[in-house]
Structure 1
Amino acid sequence: MATVLHIDSSARPAGSDLATFGSHSRRLSKRFVARWRHQRPGDTVLYRDVGLTPPAPVSAAWIHAAFTPKERRAPWMDGVLRESDMLIDELIGADVIVAGVPMYNFGVPASFKAYIDNIVRVGRTFGFDRTRRGEPYWPLLAGMGKRLVILSSRGDFGYGEGERIADMNHVEPSIRTAFGYIGITNVASVAVEYDEFADERLAASIAAAERAVDELAERLAAAVGEEERGPASEAAA
């Protein structure tokens, strides 16, 4: 069985399917997980709402503790890193990460940035050795088969690759960079646009995004199922 880590980061507490001024990213992430559960009811789903309960931002004490080798840490350092350790343990245990991340002023919400800062950590999710030949940094979560799904929403339109204001989109690119750095490179994304227009274009964008989410959830669930059956089939042969 697989484990799905469902993360929401919108400041809005309800999805746009439930509230007039609700969150489109929450709407999409909930839909993805519901479709996944329908396809794979035996899987474990963990939920973390960093939008309503954000992780503590990185501090000087956090940096000091994180860059101190574990065997040399004082007790207070373990306390400072406790939340980070919990978030990283969740991430390491997940096979699929579903992240609802709206665009706030061209980037990710501060709460999701705090999440990234807590999980991109030396010795836990990436390695560093200044004496290492070539690249001194390397990902520690590479080769684990993890998949990341980014479900976003935007007020304007044309943020997609090659579109009119793609260079102003720092949501999906920054998330791909951070997660890729620690070894999670299998990434898919879907986004709602036209939120600020609140007209038929928004309705059409939501409908298209929901169709894309359904297809994506079914495709990834099928792929995970194939991977699970593969070793068993080989053993049987």
Structure 2
Amino acid sequence: MSRVLIIESSARQQDSVSRQLTREFVEQWQASHPDDQITLRDLAVNPVPHLDADLLGGWMKPEAQRSTAEAQALERSNLLTDELLAADVLVLAAPMYNFTIPSTLKAWLDHVLRAGITFKYTPTGPQGLLTGKRAIVLTARGGIHAGAVSDHQEPYLRQAMAFIGIHEVDFIHAEGLNMSGDFHDQGIAHAKARIAAVA
């Protein structure tokens, strides 16, 4: 049995294509892996605060020197990090907002990219500690950006995943969703076909 952690980040609940892709993924994955455990964290319903002084203090100060706010920030970070550590497969559902990921997803990453836990510094540079895990990224984009300089999602997320040791990363893009003609339907159909192949 594998554990799958899904991170939703769309600000929309209704009419969200990335959420539609997540539902498709869950259906396909459960059909192929009926015994797997799926955990879903919705960053729109339960947003994670952005990186602040309290979180930094929680990470860096000894327990006896932490304020109540710092201790609470550390507890939240530990919860999110423990979810990631327990997962075998990480699924990130990310609409493209202004050429990159939602700020809610960036805030989640800021909580879980942690020195000594998900990566460590070595004499030759940082080393990821989450080897053996797999990531799948579901994106929804109004235009067509894959392979273009306007795509700041895929390069950033590939680097973030590699930084913590996740090198097997599949990107599934639903693109052209706001373009005229058949782009919307074709973009979703292409993404669903890729989900079926990956799942």
**Which TM-score tier does this pair reach, normalised by the shorter chain?**
over 0.9
TM-superposition CA deviations, 1:91-111 (whole Å, max 9, x none): 000011111101000010011
Unaligned runs of 5+ in 1: 15-21, 218-237
Q: Is residue 4–residue 91 contact of structure 2 (8 Å, CA) maintained in 1? A: yes
- Could you say which residue in structure 1 is the equivalent of 2:128? 139
Q: Answer yes or no: is 1:41 the counterpart of 2:31.
A: no
**What CA distance in whole angstroms lies between the structure 2 residues aligned with 1:176 and 1:192?**
18
TM-score normalised by structure 2 residue count:
0.93
**Residue aligned with 1:101, SS:** strand
Q: Distance in 2 between matches of 1:90 and 1:55?
A: 14
Contact 2:10-2:102 within 8 A present in 1 as well: yes
CA–CA distance in structure 2, aligned partners of residues 68 and 141 of structure 1: 25
Query: What residue identity is the alignment partner of 1:141?
Result: L
CA apart distance, 1:3 = 0.4
TM-score normalised by length of structure 1 = 0.79
Larger Rg: 1
Question: What does residue 95 of structure 1 align with?
Answer: 88
Identity of aligned residues (%): 35
Note the alpha carbon deviations across 1:92-141, whole angstroms, 9 max, x for none.
0001111110100001001101111111112221223xxx5332x32222
Structure-2 residue corresponding to 1:185? 167
Give 3-state SS (helix, strand or coil) of 2:13's partner: coil
Give the secondary structure class of the aligned counterpart of 2:183: helix
Partner of 2:135: 148
Contact kept? 1:126, 1:138, Cα under 8 Å: yes
Aligned residue in 2 for 1:74: 66
> What 5-or-longer segments of structure 2 have no aligned partner?
none
* AA of the residue aligned to 2:135: L
The secondary structure found in structure 2 opposite 1:178 is: helix
* Residue number among 167, 182, 185 corresponding to 1:200 in the alignment: 182
Amino acid at match of 1:23: S
Structure 2 counterpart SS, 1:58: coil
Q: Which residue type is aligned with residue 7 of structure 2?
A: I
Aligned residue type for 2:10: S
- Partner secondary structure for residue 95 of structure 2: coil
User: Where is the strand percentage greater, Structure 1 or Structure 2?
Assistant: 2
Residues 68, 185 of structure 1: CA spacing in aligned structure 2 closer, same or farther, 3 A cutoff? farther
Residue among 210, 220, 226 paired with 2:192: 210
Going from structure 1 to structure 2, the CA distance change for 1:127 and 1:68 (only over 3 Å counts) comes to farther
Aligned length: 198
1:65 Cα shift? 2.1
Deviation at 1:81, TM superposition (A): 0.9
Shift of 1:68: 3.1
| SS of match in other structure, 1:81 | helix
Q: CA deviation at 1:75?
A: 6.0
